[in-house]
Amino acid sequence: MVGRILIMDDEKYVRWALKEHLRGCGFSIFEASDTKAALEIMEGLLFDAVLLDVELLEHQGALFIQKFKNFPKQPHVFLVSKEDLKHHKNLALDWGARGFIKKPFRISEINELLEKVLRDVNYP
C-alpha cells in the first residue's frame, strides 16, 4: 500500500510510532504538532489520509476539516482522541471525518482503517 498521510498530533511519541510503522508499510508520511504547521504542510501537497488529534482542534475542528473540501483531492480524515466519548465520535461525523480512533490504539487498527478507505484507490 502506498499513499501520502499527514499525522497531526501534539504527542511526539504518537507521531513517531505512527510515522515509523506507516513508512514501513510504504506510505509517505508528514507530521505536524499543531494546526499552523499542518496548514503550512498542506499548502502545496495533496494527502490521501489525515490522522488528526481532536484535542489540538479545540472548537475549530469543523473549520479545519472544511479546508480540505476546497482541495482538488479530499483526504480521508480520522479524528484521534484519548477520550472515548460519544461526543467525539459524533464530532467526527458532524465534521465530515471518516472515523474516530481512540488512544491508545493498536497499530493494526490504523492499518485496518487505512486499508478500508484506500484499497480501491489506484496509486502510481
The residue ranges of every structural domain in the chain are 57-118
Average pLDDT, the chain: 79
Q: Give 14-42 pLDDT, tens digit per residue.
A: 899 999 988 988 889 999 988 888 888 88
Q: Judge whether residue 54 has pLDDT over 60.
A: yes
Residues 97 and 79: beta-carbon distance below 8 Å: yes
pLDDT band at 63 (very low <50, low <70, confident <90, very high): low
What is the predicted pLDDT for the residue at 124?
A: 40
Question: Do residues 80 and 36 make contact, with C-beta atoms less than 8 angstroms apart?
Answer: no
Task: Kindly state the cell numbers that stand for 64.
Answer: 479545519
Q: How many residues does the chain have?
A: 124
Report pTM: 0.82
The H-assigned helical ranges of 43-85 are 54-57, 61-68
Mind listing the pLDDT tens digit for each residue in 75-107?
A: 888 888 777 666 666 766 776 777 778 888 888
Closest CA to 49 of 114, 110, 104: 114
Task: Give the architecture-level CATH label for domain 57-118.
Answer: 3-Layer(aba) Sandwich (3.40)
